[in-house]
A and B are shown apart, each in its own frame.
Chain A
Amino acid sequence: MSLQFLVDGLLTGSMIGLGAIGVTLTYSILRFSNFAHGDFMAWGAYATLVVVGAIGAMFGKVAPIGALSFGWPLIIAVIIGCALTGLMALLLDFVLFSRLREKGQAIIVVMASFGASMALRSLLEFIFTSRPTYFSRAIQIAMPVGFGIRVTPDQIALLVLTVLLVSATHLLMTRTHIGRSMQAVSQNPALARVVGIDVARVVRATWLLGGALACVAGVMVGILVQIRPLMGFDMLLPMFAAAILGGIGSVPGAVLGGLIIGLAEAAAVQFIGAEWRAAVSFVILMAVLFVRPIGLFGRRER
Chain B
Amino acid sequence: MIDLIGYGAFFLTTALIFSLISLGLNLQWGLTGLFNVGVAGFVAIGAYVSALLTTPHDAARFGGFELPILAGWLGAMLVAGVAAAITGFATLRLKSDYLAITTFGVAVVVQLVALNAQSLTGGAFGIGFIPRPFAALAETPLLFNLSNVAIVAAVTLVAYLALQHLSKSPWGRVLKALREDERAAISLGKSARFYRVQAFAVGGALMGLAGAVQAHFIGFIAPDNYAPMLTFQVWVMLIVGGSGSNIGAIVGSILVWAIWAGSGALTATLFAPEQQARAASLQIVAIGVMLCLILLFRPNGLFGNMTQRRRIRLGQRKPS
Contacts and interface: CB of A to CB of B under 8 A. Distances in A.
Q: Do chains A and B touch in the complex (CB under 8 A)?
A: yes
Interface of A: 27, 30-33, 35, 96, 99-108, 110-112, 114-120, 122-123, 125-126, 129-130, 185, 189-190, 192-193, 199, 203, 233, 236-237, 240-241, 244, 273, 275-276, 278-279, 281-282, 285-286, 289-290, 293, 301
Interface in B283-310: 284-285, 287-289, 291-292, 295-296, 299, 308-310
B90 interface: yes
B170 interface: no
Nearest to A101: B314
Given A112-B295, A244-B98, A289-B91, A276 B116 contact: yes
A293 B292 contact: no
Nearest to A92: B292
A108 B311 contact: no
Contacts of B102: 285-286, 289
A104 B311 contact: yes
Contacts of B291: 111-112, 115, 118
Contacts of B284: 118-119, 122
B37 interface: yes
Interface in B241-277: 277
Given A122-B288, A126-B281, A285 B105 contact: yes
Contact of A289 (B98, B109, B112): B98
Contacts of B33: 107
A112 B297 CA distance: 12
Given A122-B284, A275-B116, 19 more contacts: A33-B101, A100-B295, A104-B310, A105-B308, A110-B100, A111-B295, A118-B288, A122-B281, A189-B314, A189-B315, A189-B316, A190-B315, A193-B316, A199-B314, A237-B104, A241-B101, A279-B109, A289-B102, A293-B98
A114 B37 contact: yes
Nearest to A108: B295
A240 B101 contact: yes
26 contacts: A35-B37, A35-B100, A103-B311, A104-B309, A104-B310, A110-B35, A112-B292, A115-B236, A115-B295, A118-B229, A118-B291, A119-B287, A119-B292, A122-B282, A126-B281, A130-B281, A240-B105, A275-B112, A275-B116, A276-B116, A278-B109, A279-B112, A282-B109, A286-B90, A289-B90, A289-B94
Interface in B28-56: 33, 35, 37
B315 A193 contact: yes
Contacts of B235: 111, 114-115
A265 B109 CA distance: 14
Interface string B74-114: 00000000000000001101111110111011101100100
B312 interface: yes
Nearest to A34: B97
Which of B91, B116, B281, B317 counts the most A-chain CB atoms under 10 A from its CB? B281
Contact of B277 (A119, A130, A185, A192): A130
Which of B105, B109, B229, B312 counts the most A-chain CB atoms under 10 A from its CB? B105
B312 to A, nearest CB: 5
Given A107-B96, A237-B105, A190 B317 contact: yes
A199 B95 CA distance: 23
B168 interface: no
Contacts of A278: 108-109, 112
Given A105-B309, A111-B235, A118-B284, A199 B315 contact: yes
A27 B281 contact: no
A301 B314 contact: no
B271 to A, nearest CB: 12
A173 B35 CA distance: 31
B312 A115 contact: no
Closest 6 CB pairs of A and B: A119-B288, A189-B315, A104-B311, A115-B291, A122-B284, A125-B281
Contacts of A286: 90, 102, 105
Contacts of B315: 185, 189-190, 192-193, 199
Interface in B93-139: 93-98, 100-102, 104-106, 108-109, 112, 115-116
Contact of A115 (B95, B112, B232, B277): B232
Contact of A237 (B108, B229, B277, B292): B108
B190 interface: no
A129 B274 CA distance: 11
Given A108-B299, A130-B277, A282 B98 contact: no
A126 to B, nearest CB: 4
B98 A123 contact: no
Contacts of A101: 313-314
Contacts of B101: 33, 237, 240-241, 244, 285
A290 B311 CA distance: 30
A76 B300 CA distance: 46
B137 to A, nearest CB: 38
Contacts of A106: 96-97, 312
B173 interface: no
A118 B232 contact: yes
Given A114-B37, A276-B112, A301-B95, A104 B100 contact: no
A101 B311 CA distance: 10
Contacts of A275: 112, 115-116
B278 interface: yes
Nearest to B313: A104
A40 to B, nearest CB: 15
Contacts of A193: 315-316
Contacts of A105: 308-309
